[in-house]
Each structure stands twice: as structure tokens, then as C-alpha cells.
Amino acid sequence: MNNPPALVLSVFMFFSALLFFTHASYFLGYKEFYIALDSLYLFTSLSVYPLYYCYVRMLTRDVKINYRNVWHFAPAAVLATILSVIMYYSSQEDKMVYYREVLIYQNRETIFMGGNVSLMAVVFFISRIVFAFQVIIYLVSGYRLASQYDDRLLQFYSNLQNRQLIWVRLLSLVFLFTSITSSTVNVIGRGFFLDHPEMLIIPSGLFSVLLFLIGYQGSIQQFTVKDVEEESEETDSLPQLTTTRELLKDLILDLMVKEELFRMPDLRITLLCKKLNTNRTYISSIINEEFGESFNGFINRYRVEYAKKLMKDNPACDYSLDYLASESGFGSASSFIRAFKQIEGITPGKFLKG
């Protein structure tokens, strides 16, 4: 497949839809139908967060689908299979006791009742413990992967628009908060929502919005780690120059000061590599260690200085922010304002007034 992340996202959305379907059958009161779906509920509920994590990996680390990640779904598969087998050998009466005492009221005493009811209760409560760990582990891990990926982009690109995964970090935090809240309420038991059905709108609404945002952002996220790796391969094979770091530092400064390379829109470190005929790792280390900043910060500092010069040379400031951004090499006025404020501590507008 040409777009592996889209495939994983599609599977995630499909499993989420199945999970909502099982929830709907439960709260609509279709007891026997839900009992038949309970193993499916368990499997999907323990697969959604691993799938979300695998999707984030496809955006940030894995160039292609890594089938070794299938172990993340082992708890879901094992527990769902065990529950299915127990259900198969259980009487209708045992299933109804399980439905009422465990699924509705989450009565932990059922663990000691003996027979199949106890076995089903044990599987259920183990699955809830696994779920609680999954929420924290996979959402925090997804957040960290997105953060590391965004930090890596700073070493490659001068313009980060449509490349960063800030939305993944934000949604992971919101997802974490809502999931913990939902899990806390879930400890009370589903009976709470059966007695107060109007309260279902809160968790249902929150998760519906979150899933929509994940699906929407994922559908428009075209840039992934695969693009980074492909560009990296172009220059990583170049040799490391035998010239001194000081000389290479001067050559980089010449490209900025004399050629004003920073004014190129969407300037990438790979262009510097080709111009200086050396690999990305070497140039990146020089910029990081000699100038004390990332490639992105290094280029934006020159762009901001150039924009300041334009504003000083034209006190009346007939230039629009879009013009200043374009002339300085920024991809948009918003990225120009953001970088200017980050470097100067004030917006371009306040700079002109000051």
C-alpha cells in the first residue's frame, strides 16, 4: 500500500466504530445480543489504544508496517478468546448473572461465587486493569513519539508547516484526560449510566469529537517520517569533509550572509549538505554545537534579522506581514509572527511601535 499510515488509521477508526456499536447495544438494553458481543467488546476495547499508538508510530518512526508490533494486541486476543470459550460453556442463567452482577454493578464478590460466573468475572476485571495501564502507557508513549519527531524536524527544515505533529500531542493529552475520567466513572459501574442515561452524552460526545478530530487530522496529514527518511538518505551517503569544523562553520556563514540562502522558502538542511558536499549529521552537529541552536532556529534567526532590517529601512512600514514573511523566507505570516516573537520576545507590530 502507498500510504501505510492511512491503512492503520482506517483500522483504528473501524475498531472504534465496532466499540461504539457494542456500547450502543448494551445501553439500548439488548441483553442477550450484547452478551453475544461481549467478547468483541473486550477485544476492541483493548485494541483501540494499541492501534492509536501504532498509528502514531507510522507517522513518526516506522517507514512501513512493522508486523512485530502485533504483540501489542496479545492481551486483547488472549482475554477475548478465553472469555469466548467460557461463554460457550456457560448456561444462560450464568450469563445473566454475569451481565447483571459484573457488567452492570461490577460486583467484585462474583469472583468468589465459583463456577463460570467467577471465571468470566476474573477475565472482566483483568481486562479493566489492562485497559487502565494501556490508557496511560500508549497515550504517553504516543505523545513522546510525536515530541521526539517534532524535535527531529527542527534539525531538517526551516519551515515546519504541515509537517509537525502538534495535533497528536494535544489530542493525546485530551484523550488521556477523558480516558482517565471515563475509567474513573467506569469504576462506579455501568449501572450509573443505566440509571442516568442523560449522562451518557458527556463521554459519548467527548469521544465522538476526539475520534472525529483524529480522523480529520489524520486524513490531511500527508507528511510522515517516510518523507524525512527519504530526504535523509539523499545526503547521508555524502562524505564527512576533512576540513576543520571552524572552516565549515565559516562556509555555512558565507551561505547565510553572502548568498542569503535563508531567504529561500522551505530551505532544508539537505541543500546545505549538497552545496558543501558533506553529510547531514556533520552539518547538523556544527549548527547545534557551534551556534547552539537547531537548524530551524538558526535559519529563522537570520530571517528575523532580515525582516527587522526591512522594517528599519522603511519606518513608514508600507509592507504587509505577508510581504515581510515572504521576503524573509517564511512560509506564512503566522510562522513569521511566531518565530519573531520567539526570538525577539515581541510581535513585529510592537517592534515597529517601539
The pTM assigned to this predicted structure is 0.88
Cβ within 8 Å of residue 239, ≥6 positions away: 277, 278, 279
Q: Which residues, given as ranges, of the chain have pLDDT below 70?
A: 1, 181-190, 234-243, 315-318, 354
- Look up the domain containing 217 and give its range: 4-228
Q: How far apart are CA 227 and CA 230, in angstroms?
A: 5
Cell representation of residue 44: 476492541
* Total number of domains in the chain: 2
Residues 113 and 159 both lie in one domain: yes
Residues 213 and 266 both lie in one domain: no
pLDDT at 316: 59
pLDDT at 199: 79
- DSSP assignment, residue 250? H
**Cα-Cα end-to-end distance for the chain:** 55
Q: Which residue has the cell 546545505?
A: 272
**Inter-residue contact 199 to 192 (CB < 8 Å):** yes
Residues 190 and 244 both lie in one domain: no
**Inter-residue contact 149 to 57 (CB < 8 Å):** no
Q: Among the three residues 186, 202, 228, which one is the final residue of a domain in this structure?
A: 228
Q: Among the three residues 165, 197, 228, which one is the final residue of a domain in this structure?
A: 228
Q: How far apart are CA 256 and CA 302, in angstroms?
A: 8
Q: Is 89 exposed, middle or buried (0-12, 13-18, 19+ CB in 10 A)?
A: exposed
Q: Write phi, then psi, for 28 (nearest 5 degrees).
A: -85, -5
Q: Write phi, then psi, for 223 (nearest 5 degrees).
A: -90, 130
Residues 43 and 130 both lie in one domain: yes
pLDDT at 189: 62
Residues 211 and 267 both lie in one domain: no
**Inter-residue contact 336 to 158 (CB < 8 Å):** no
Q: How far apart are CA 171 and CA 328, in angstroms?
A: 33
Q: How far apart are CA 101 and CA 61, in angstroms?
A: 44
pLDDT at 182: 66
Residues 259 and 186 both lie in one domain: no
- DSSP assignment, residue 157? B
Bridge partners for 157 per DSSP: 268
Cell representation of residue 243: 576540513
Q: Among the three residues 228, 257, 288, which one is the final residue of a domain in this structure?
A: 228
pLDDT digit string, tens, across residues 148-192: 999 999 999 998 888 888 888 888 888 888 777 666 666 666 677
pLDDT at 196: 77
pLDDT at 2: 75
Q: Which residue has the cell 532590517?
A: 309
Residues 220 and 341 both lie in one domain: no
User: The CATH number of the domain where 286 resides is what?
Assistant: 1.10.10.60
Residues 313 and 181 both lie in one domain: no
Residues 182 and 255 both lie in one domain: no
pLDDT at 28: 87
Residues 216 and 127 both lie in one domain: yes
Q: What type of residue sits at position 322?
A: D
Q: Write phi, then psi, for 254 (nearest 5 degrees).
A: -60, -40
Q: Write phi, then psi, for 105 (nearest 5 degrees).
A: -100, -5
Residues 39 and 58 both lie in one domain: yes
Residues 295 and 319 both lie in one domain: yes
Cα torsion through 212, 213, 218, 219, rounded to 10:
60
